[in-house]
Amino acid sequence: MSGSKHSNKTIEIGESLKRKGLSVTDSRKKIMQLFMQQKGALSHSDIEKKAGTAFDRVTIYRTLQTFLDKGIIHAIPSADASVRYALCNDDCAPGHHEHQHIHFFCRQCHQTFCLDDIVTPSIGLPRGYQPQEVDVLVKGVCKNCTTAKKS
């Protein structure tokens, strides 16, 4: 961290928001930063905890919705009613997400990861079913937790 008013990263984040057609505000910068710092995905309540009292709950809801709309983040399905979000790294556009990667939920550290290099398989469906999108969620033990245990 330099002593100057703006680090490079802050400038980058601001630029990135502008490129998506969004005005640059403290909460958007902060939430974007949280996603960038984070290896795993974040839920609403994760963000609330990490952001502390800095922002109103409502602002977080609205920011997440905006980021979803603009194709900045995507929602990751889960079976426990707690949706998590992660940055889109493909070129997702406003109104259209295009993700081919799968997600991994670690039962040990309870983090969810985007495995960007693992492409979703094509699924053979019964006659009449028209697929538009495939979500794959693998549960197990993640890389970090596996190697941590070994040593």
Where on the chain is the footprint of Zn ion (CB under 5 A)?
Answer: 106, 108-109, 142, 145
By CB under 8 A, the count of residues binding its own copies is 39
List own/partner pairs for 30-35 with CB under 8 A and 24 or more apart: 30/54, 30/55, 31/60, 31/63, 31/64, 31/67, 32/67, 32/72, 33/9, 35/73, 35/85, 35/86, 35/87
- Which region, judged by CB under 5 A, interacts with Mn ion, from 12-20, 58-66, 77-85, 112-120? 112-120
Whether 70 and 20 have beta carbons less than 8 Å apart is answered as yes
Q: Which does 109 bind (CB under 5 to 8 A by kind): Zn ion, its own copies, Mn ion, none?
A: Zn ion
Q: Which does 45 bind (CB under 5 to 8 A by kind): its own copies, Zn ion, DNA, none?
A: DNA
Residues of this chain that bind Mn ion (CB under 5 A): 86, 114
